Amino acid sequence: MSAARQKKSRPWLFVLLALVVGAAVAVAVAVRGRTSSHPGAANASASAASSSSSSTAGDPTNPFASKAMRYYLYHRAGNITAAAYDADSRTLYLYHPGVAEATASIMKVDILATLLHQTQDAGNGLNSAQNALAQEMIEDSDNDDAQDLWDEEGGSTAVSDFDADVGMDATSPNTAGYWGLSTTTARDQVDLLRHVLLPNHLLDGASRAYESNLMHNITPSQAWGVSAGIGAGAHVALKNGWLPLAGSDWQVNSIGAVVGSGRHYLLAVLTTGDPTEGYGIRTISHISSVAWHSLA
């Protein structure tokens, strides 16, 4: 989940979990039109579109719909689910919607958003100790710092409450405290990014700017995934997660936002059943590159 230093021993970091995910029919759908600032409206729209029989294969802006992309995804090992939200056209694109996978370290974005919401409601910002933990948790993906903040803010109960306010109905923070084994969907992660990075009623401008700044300063060795294949004139807010499960099964995830060169979109890609970490990274990098070209 992180290559950062480990300051203290936490046995749970070595827990191996075999995830069993039901086989899903490959679906690429798009939701068009203006979305309300209230997250429930976005979720309702996405759910309706996911069950619609209308085809979007001819939409050139849908990053998951081209024959080349569908061929690529079909032949990749493991399970892949993804969501892309074009912030300019307010269009949501989904691939394998509803498939839930382990969060690994992308959960750290949710942990920090929950804490920012708590301190914001209390009328104060993060203290110096919290700030130091948050910075290393996001920029370096430090697991111990994430554990400290998770425990301090109230663990799964606190994060679940925040996620409910966001409308992340398909996300389940791990009640045993193993936050990296929480489960989520790509669509929920895009909803989370909308509240972390775009104007909304839950996080104010200062809170969003704080978390966005940390996500823009990921340590270079972890700058992969959503940042792959984009043009030199774009900026990326990013958080990745990687976790070895049972045997040669890897969970590799990437979430983030891309802004610049005529583009403004959010992207979340979750992959499990990867034979190696690098395999999962290559899958996400290919999807990111296609999204960059499709969402111009």
pLDDT at 126 > cutoff 60: yes
CA dist 79 to 104, 216, 266, 267, Å? 15, 28, 21, 17
Contact 236, 216 (CB under 8 A): yes
> Are the beta carbons of 97 and 187 closer than 8 angstroms?
yes
Is the residue at 2 inside a domain?
no
CA–CA gap between residue 24 and residue 202 (Å, rounded): 33
Q: What is the mean pLDDT of residues 15-27?
A: 31
Q: Place 59 in a pLDDT band, splitting at 50, 70 and 90.
A: confident
When the pLDDT of each residue in the chain is averaged and rounded to a whole number, the result is 85
Q: Has residue 12 been placed in a domain? A: no
Please check whether residue 16 lies inside any domain of the structure. Answer: no
- Would you give the distance in Å from CA 40 to the centre of its chain? 18
Question: How many structural domains does the chain have?
Answer: 1
pLDDT score recorded for residue 57: 52
Query: What are the pLDDT digits (tens) for 180-190?
Result: 999 999 999 99
Asked if the structure places residue 14 within a domain, the reply is no
Domain with 26, as residue range(s), is 22-294
pLDDT, tens digit, for every residue of 134-159?
A: 999 999 999 999 999 999 999 999 99
Q: Does residue 13 form part of some domain?
A: no
pTM: 0.83
